[in-house]
Chain A
Amino acid sequence: MKGTTSIADNVHASSVAERGRISWRWGIGLLVVPALALLAIAYVYPMVRMVLVSFEGSQFSTEHYLAFIQDPVYTTILGRTFAMAATTTVICLLLGYPAAYLLSHVPKRYRGWLLLLVVVPYLTSFLVRTYAWVVLLNDNGPINGALVGLGIVDEPVKLVYNTIGVHIGMVHVLLPLMILPLYAVMTAIDDRLVRAAYSMGAGPVRGFLAVYLPLSLPGVTSGCLLVFLISLGFYITPIMLGGLGDVMLVNLIDIQITRLGNWNFGAAASVVLLVVTLAAVVVIRQLSGSADVFGLGDGTMRRQSANGSSAIARVRKRLSGLLRHNAVSDAAMIIVARHRSKRWADLRARNRRSISIGKHLIAAYAAVVFIFLVIPTFIVIPLSFSSSSFLTFPPPGWSFRWYEHFFTEEGWVNGTLLSFQVGFFTTVLVTVLGTLAAYGLVRGRSRYRALIMALVISPLIVPPIVVGVGLYWTLVDIKLIGTVAGLVLGHSIGALAYVVVLVTAVLSRFDISLERAAMSLGAGPLRTFRKVTFPLIRPGIIAAAVFAFIHSFDELVITYLISPFGIKTLPRMMWQNIRNEIDPVIAATSSMLILVPLVVLLILKLTNRKSRGTDVRATPF
């Protein structure tokens, strides 16, 4: 409407807009609801039953809690479990950060291959990968063979059936979980900010610490959170690679429940584990100076001012700190300008050199990490062609019989198909629900965000055997026991956690002003999401989907309890094989699981190259 508008009209328009914004904020909050509904059925209801069991139902007896807390064995093991998870997390961070850095800075055409190196080991069943380490690390294995052969040591070093072995196995499994969130966040960091720091005289270390590190923090947070929480629940790796004292709490709970039928105690122990873990997470975040426990951001729609708490604002502050802009230095600068400008040039030249050296060091370090990630794959593939019935390395002879075995022996093909079927439905379900929930958590305004987040990630902490028992009852009640749908529900609760953690990490780094810009130009929320937000957070969502699928594909304990009669998923087939005769058919299966997606991806990449568009932000996926 041209011409003058009255003040009343303006006030009216802006209050409509304001109401629109507020109702949109509430609307966004509602995006969390579908995910919560899923959790309510598949997780909360079973867990409520188990919590009641831990209190002996209506008697509300704390007997089992006291039994746990007062038993030095259990408290010691609880402490050791936390220590193991902490050390694993630190190692994964030290190894994963440079690897993610390299990944995000390598030219686009190499990035796809490196990402494959990270993801492909994950496609191998984690049972097989863990077993590959037994083969690699034992006294007669290739690593000791090399160490002794090269004269570095006189006798084989004990690398397996002890804490070292457990750490190697756990780090290997969890490293991609640290690398991918870091990578997803790092790709969104504008490198010009770092270069700006260099141009102001910062050396490589200062530039990194002051600028890059704070910007990558959401990735660090979610990577560490995921790795830490999942480490707490590991129990197969300590069994296969560990020594006597390397037992973790979930092992003990498992035995209480499966061998002795002590549900009350098992449930009580799990609740204690959950409460202590969440408390630890909160304490650590408070100590690191952030009230925002899960890195969700403060959710306001307004761009932060320079005094605000967003990462960009902090970076700006640091940059201005580097400039040392104040009256004294201004005066000093004028006096010594000429002298200083020469020294400045020298300083920058030195920094350039050390930055370049630093980059090469990082590249070398990261290369070692990538090699570490793929070594077991290079064991598994040759083993699949072994003529022997045992997994001895190197194989004594060659044969295709294990591949033949896979296709002819009952259970393998069907198990693989079932696992893919369940994995597919689980992934679709949780990626959609989880992304919506992540969006609602990060953008919405709710006091309960931290609580909801804690609820969503808690399935990663609680021992699956406990959830499984509760879920069995629930599935019987809703008549889904023994169905594929029941399996999907059982897998979804863990997979959802991965998706929410990963997508919130990427979203919280995402500059909200881009969305506001689009909306101010007339795009509705849906269009904005489709055209602006989604393409930019796509790496995070894809990483999340991959992990959701892998979680489902690897899930063993809950599956065991609620499976359809007479058919086993692939991890169950593999676990059975490992528990029975450990023959190379598991190596053949894993090799196919690696090679088939590799071939498919190869074909996709080759065809993609021909039809590549001009999308500036083309991701390697």
Chain B
Amino acid sequence: MTILKTNMARRSVLRAGTAGAAALAFGGTAAKADSNQVIVYVGTGDWAESNIKAFVRPFEEETGIEVIEVEDWYNLNQVRLWVETGTVQADVLNIGGSQVDIMANEGLLEEIDYSIYSDATKNDIVPESQHKFGVGALFYSTVLSYWADQFTDQPPPSGWQQFWDVDGFPGKRTLVSGEGGYGSWEIALIADGVPMDQLYPLDIERAFDSLDRIRPHITKWWLDGSDNQQIFADRFVDLGAAYNGRMGNLQKQDLPIVIDWNEGKLEQDFWGIPKGAPNPENAQKFIEFASRGAQQAIFSQEIPYAPTNLSAFDYIPEDVAVQLPTYPENLAKQFTRNYAWEAEVIDGKSNLERLIEAWNRFIIS
């Protein structure tokens, strides 16, 4: 699992940086025709590799539009700065599910032009992925994972109620930190006995009482995928919540990690276009291309994130498909994170803000 890149010296970000930075850096003014380029933020590491292989190269071949792929992160703050100063530096962004509504509400995103999508594609893409301001790019899950040898002489834990049972299932534990607005609140409610289909609207107080009970037994609360991967790889923890993609990486490295889909939390990332992007039309075309089943199938075979276009499963071999979060058998066991509820603003505050505030109170108590 190295981050060796394919040879892309010519189209590299660096060349763009030195040769055309000034031209590229400032998009913004509306009445400008698209150049023959599109700037796509492809993420970093293995995820970037997979995006490039599945979407960027094929798109370039089919349309002849040059893709400038940027391997970097960005955050809401940056996009806001770009849009407000008219210095938008990207055409296509990969946006976390919880951020799409926030960004849309602040007027930071362009509307998706679904008219260029074929009816077949629109049929096949899952309804939750067809947002007014974004198109679902991938599904991933947070699931209970553990080292296989932790439970050799007893059945391993399944489901979060068993995870909360520290005596019945001993081991060093980890959960997702709530700091960034992703958190273990739904998991805590399930552990407290709430059925998966009755999770939302979240009973915040009950969730945090539940978290309080497991708190002394958590060795580390992880915040990022790399933390997540590293604490399992180095065996700082024996069991806990983890991204399925990260655990898949470890499994590829022959580490005996087991993933349990039961009561997993399904989440989405979206493709979006910042308002005032330099090449909005090309951006729409790119996103449409990336939403095709055949392309998403390539993507999901590179990295275990699930397609949002269900026709992709026609192209994915069975042994790969069973590892994906939206494989029907896996999907049935999980619940989906409710972004709309989080973004709902009541009394001037969004529910997401309430959750973060509750988390802040939790950590200082």
Q: Which residues of A contact B (CB under 8 A)?
A: 72-73, 76-77, 80, 138-140, 161, 239, 243-245, 247, 251-252, 255, 257-261, 263, 389-392, 405, 409-411, 414, 465, 469, 472-473, 476, 481-482, 560-561, 564-568, 576, 578-583
Q: Which residues of A contact B70 (CB under 8 A)?
A: 566
Partner of A73, one of B24, B226, B235, B361: B361
A261-B77 contact in complex given A482-B21, A482-B25, C-beta closer than 8 Å: yes
The list of the 10 closest CB pairs from A to B, nearest first, reads A566-B17, A580-B45, A566-B13, A258-B75, A258-B77, A476-B85, A73-B360, A567-B17, A565-B21, A244-B363
Query: Does B311 sit within 8 A of A, measured CB to CB?
Result: no
A565-B89 contact in complex given A76-B364, A410-B5, A579-B226, C-beta closer than 8 Å: yes
Q: Which residues between 219 and 258 of chain B lie within 8 Å of chain A, taking CB atoms?
A: 219-221, 223-226, 229-230, 233-236, 253
Q: Which residues of B contact A76 (CB under 8 A)?
A: 364
A261-B179 contact in complex given A564-B17, A566-B21, C-beta closer than 8 Å: no
Q: Are B219 and A389 in contact (CB under 8 A)?
A: no
Q: Are B5 and A409 in contact (CB under 8 A)?
A: yes
Q: Which residues of A contact B230 (CB under 8 A)?
A: 390-391, 582
Q: Are B14 and A582 in contact (CB under 8 A)?
A: no
Task: Tell which of B13, B68, B234 has the most Cβ of chain A within 10 Å.
Answer: B234
Kindly report which residue of chain A lies nearest to residue B16, judged by CB atoms.
A566
In the bound complex, what is the Cα–Cα distance between A544 and B78 (angstroms)? 32
Kindly report which residue of chain A lies nearest to residue B45, judged by CB atoms.
A580
In the bound complex, what is the Cα–Cα distance between A392 and B89 (angstroms)? 38
Q: Which residues of B contact A244 (CB under 8 A)?
A: 177, 215, 218, 221, 363
Q: Are A581 and B3 in contact (CB under 8 A)?
A: yes
Q: Which residues between 18 and 60 of chain B lie within 8 Å of chain A, taking CB atoms?
A: 18, 21-22, 24-25, 44-46
Closest CB in chain B relative to A166 CB, distance in Å: 13
Q: Are A255 and B77 in contact (CB under 8 A)?
A: no
In the bound complex, what is the Cα–Cα distance between A139 and B219 (angstroms)? 11
Query: Does B180 sit within 8 A of A, measured CB to CB?
Result: yes
Kindly report which residue of chain A lies nearest to residue B79, judged by CB atoms.
A261
A138-B17 contact in complex given A247-B179, A260-B76, C-beta closer than 8 Å: no
Query: Does B67 sit within 8 A of A, measured CB to CB?
Result: no
Closest CB in chain B relative to A80 CB, distance in Å: 7
Kindly report which residue of chain A lies nearest to residue B90, judged by CB atoms.
A565
Closest CB in chain A relative to B179 CB, distance in Å: 6
Q: Which residues of B contact A481 (CB under 8 A)?
A: 25, 85, 87
Q: Are B363 and A245 in contact (CB under 8 A)?
A: yes
In the bound complex, what is the Cα–Cα distance between A263 and B80 (angstroms)? 10
Q: Are A576 and B44 in contact (CB under 8 A)?
A: yes
Q: Which residues of A contact B45 (CB under 8 A)?
A: 580-581
Q: Which residues of B contact A567 (CB under 8 A)?
A: 13-14, 17-18
Kindly report which residue of chain A lies nearest to residue B82, judged by CB atoms.
A472
Closest CB in chain B relative to A445 CB, distance in Å: 43
Query: Does B123 sit within 8 A of A, measured CB to CB?
Result: no
Q: Which residues of B contact A409 (CB under 8 A)?
A: 3-5
Q: Are B14 and A260 in contact (CB under 8 A)?
A: no
Q: Are B364 and A77 in contact (CB under 8 A)?
A: yes
Q: Are B1 and A258 in contact (CB under 8 A)?
A: no
Q: Are A259 and B360 in contact (CB under 8 A)?
A: no
Q: Are B5 and A255 in contact (CB under 8 A)?
A: no
Q: Which residues of A contact B24 (CB under 8 A)?
A: 565-566
Task: Tell which of A140, A251, A560 has the most Cβ of chain B within 10 Å.
Answer: A560
Q: Are B5 and A161 in contact (CB under 8 A)?
A: no
Partner of B106, one of A261, A392, A580: A261
Q: Are B1 and A389 in contact (CB under 8 A)?
A: yes
Q: Are A259 and B13 in contact (CB under 8 A)?
A: no
Query: Does B2 sit within 8 A of A, measured CB to CB?
Result: yes
Q: Which residues of B contact A581 (CB under 8 A)?
A: 1, 3, 45-46, 226, 229
Q: Are A252 and B81 in contact (CB under 8 A)?
A: no
Query: Does B158 sit within 8 A of A, measured CB to CB?
Result: no
Partner of A578, one of B1, B46, B75, B226: B226
Kindly report which residue of chain A lies nearest to residue B77, judged by CB atoms.
A258
In the bound complex, what is the Cα–Cα distance between A60 and B191 (angstroms)? 47
Q: Are A239 and B25 in contact (CB under 8 A)?
A: no
Query: Does B357 sit within 8 A of A, measured CB to CB?
Result: yes
Partner of A245, one of B5, B46, B357, B364: B364
Partner of B234, one of A390, A473, A565, A583: A390
* Cross-chain pairs A/B with CB under 8 angstroms, 16 sampled: A72-B361, A80-B364, A247-B360, A389-B1, A389-B2, A392-B234, A405-B2, A409-B3, A411-B71, A414-B14, A482-B22, A566-B24, A568-B72, A579-B226, A581-B229, A583-B2
Partner of A255, one of B25, B85, B179, B236: B179
In the bound complex, what is the Cα–Cα distance between A580 and B71 (angstroms)? 12
Q: Are B78 and A565 in contact (CB under 8 A)?
A: no
Q: Are B17 and A565 in contact (CB under 8 A)?
A: yes
In the bound complex, what is the Cα–Cα distance between A411 and B81 (angstroms)? 25
- Other than the given A72-B361, A566-B17, 9 more pairs (CB < 8 A) read A76-B364, A80-B364, A140-B234, A255-B356, A410-B12, A482-B22, A580-B44, A582-B226, A582-B230
In the bound complex, what is the Cα–Cα distance between A524 and B144 (angstroms)? 76
Q: Which residues of A contact B364 (CB under 8 A)?
A: 73, 76-77, 80, 245, 247
Q: Are A469 and B223 in contact (CB under 8 A)?
A: no
Q: Which residues between 334 and 365 of chain B lie within 8 Å of chain A, taking CB atoms?
A: 352-353, 356-357, 360-361, 363-364
In the bound complex, what is the Cα–Cα distance between A139 and B236 (angstroms)? 7
Q: Are B89 and A257 in contact (CB under 8 A)?
A: no
Partner of A565, one of B25, B81, B360: B25
In the bound complex, what is the Cα–Cα distance between A490 and B223 (angstroms)? 28
In the bound complex, what is the Cα–Cα distance between A332 and B71 (angstroms)? 85
Kindly report which residue of chain A lies nearest to residue B106, judged by CB atoms.
A261
Q: Which residues of A contact B3 (CB under 8 A)?
A: 409, 580-581, 583
In the bound complex, what is the Cα–Cα distance between A245 and B363 (angstroms)? 5
Partner of B235, one of A140, A578, A582: A140
In the bound complex, what is the Cα–Cα distance between A581 and B360 (angstroms)? 28
Closest CB in chain B relative to A467 CB, distance in Å: 13
Closest CB in chain A relative to B21 CB, distance in Å: 5
Partner of A260, one of B16, B225, B356: B356
Q: Are A469 and B77 in contact (CB under 8 A)?
A: yes
Q: Which residues of A contact B46 (CB under 8 A)?
A: 581
Q: Which residues of A contact B235 (CB under 8 A)?
A: 140
Kindly report which residue of chain B lies nearest to residue A405, judged by CB atoms.
B2
In the bound complex, what is the Cα–Cα distance between A565 and B70 (angstroms)? 9
Q: Are A261 and B16 in contact (CB under 8 A)?
A: no
In the bound complex, what is the Cα–Cα distance between A259 and B220 (angstroms)? 22
Q: Which residues of A contact B71 (CB under 8 A)?
A: 411
Q: Which residues of A contact B177 (CB under 8 A)?
A: 244
Q: Which residues of B contact A410 (CB under 8 A)?
A: 5, 12-14
Q: Which residues of A contact B236 (CB under 8 A)?
A: 138-140
Q: Which residues of A contact B76 (CB under 8 A)?
A: 258-261
Query: Does B156 sit within 8 A of A, measured CB to CB?
Result: no
A390-B21 contact in complex given A258-B75, A472-B85, A582-B226, C-beta closer than 8 Å: no
As a 0/1 sequence over residues 168 to 206 of chain B, the CB contacts with chain A under 8 angstroms (1 = contact) are: 000000000101110000000000000000000000000
In the bound complex, what is the Cα–Cα distance between A139 and B352 (angstroms)? 35
Q: Which residues of A contact B4 (CB under 8 A)?
A: 409
Q: Are A473 and B85 in contact (CB under 8 A)?
A: yes
Closest CB in chain B relative to A83 CB, distance in Å: 12
Closest CB in chain A relative to B12 CB, distance in Å: 6
Query: Does B73 sit within 8 A of A, measured CB to CB?
Result: yes
Q: Are B356 and A261 in contact (CB under 8 A)?
A: no
Q: Are A579 and B224 in contact (CB under 8 A)?
A: yes
Closest CB in chain B relative to A596 CB, distance in Å: 23
In the bound complex, what is the Cα–Cα distance between A565 and B22 (angstroms)? 9
Query: Does B102 sit within 8 A of A, measured CB to CB?
Result: yes
Kindly report which residue of chain B lies nearest to residue A482, judged by CB atoms.
B25
In the bound complex, what is the Cα–Cα distance between A576 and B47 (angstroms)? 13
As a 0/1 sequence over residues 138 to 150 of chain B, the CB contacts with chain A under 8 angstroms (1 = contact) are: 0000000000000
As a 0/1 sequence over residues 83 to 111 of chain B, the CB contacts with chain A under 8 angstroms (1 = contact) are: 00111010000000001001000100000
Q: Which residues of A contact B220 (CB under 8 A)?
A: 161, 243
Kindly report which residue of chain B lies nearest to residue A572, judged by CB atoms.
B72
Task: Tell which of B77, B106, B363 has the most Cβ of chain A within 10 Å.
Answer: B77
